[in-house]
Amino acid sequence: MRTEDLEVNEEEPALNWFKGVWNLHISPKIKMFMWKLFQKAIPVGEILVARHITTDGRCKRCGTLESIYHLFLQCPFARKIWRAAPFVSTFENSGLIDLKSVWSNLCEKNYVPPTGLVSGQLAPWILWHIWCARNQLIFEGKTITEEEALTKAITAAKEWTSSQEQRPPPPRKIPPRPQTMTNCDVLNSDAAWRAPNHTAGLG
């Protein structure tokens, strides 16, 4: 392994953390994973070698040095997943130099209509399932196909979205009824406001 392979590129593009990680429609677990990924705190082979934890930093699938860039973008396994992802426009990842430079583009991609995914949410789930597939292969000896990994990512993204939509609204506090006075007429009134379609009701 060449020493220059381990050097950190000082001219990496800046990342908009709010737009690129914290505001994405994904679970907190995946946000933390994304944060670690962009901080280069994910123990891929290249980083393990640099920290003298292992001497073999090669990708278990293809034998290339396992950098973050390789594992998540350039490994044939990852490339096949990105090519098959249901983006409206194809994601071409050949010739890219790192994940940060392409991340905003990936987050802005729309999906083909039947997918039912929210804009920007699939790419993080794909990265997560590439990572899970890699760990399954190394630690459990299990191999999953690119199609299975992509299906898992799409399913997880959809399940997250529907779980958020089905979450019940917080209980409404009902004020105590005022005591009714005798020998007088009572007039009850109520009003409601629906923010999503800007409609109001009065009764």
Cα–Cα dist 203/195, whole Å: 18
Cβ 2 to Zn ion shortest distance, Å? 17
* Nearer to Zn ion (CB atom), residue 54 or residue 110: 54
* Nearer to Zn ion (CB atom), residue 34 or residue 75: 75
* Nearer to Zn ion (CB atom), residue 133 or residue 157: 133
* Nearer to Zn ion (CB atom), residue 21 or residue 75: 75
* Nearer to Zn ion (CB atom), residue 59 or residue 106: 59
Cβ 57 to Zn ion shortest distance, Å? 11
Cβ 77 to Zn ion shortest distance, Å? 6
Measure Cα distances from 93 to 1, 83, 135, 178 in Å. 24, 9, 23, 67
The binding site for Zn ion (CB under 5 A) comprises 59, 61-62, 75
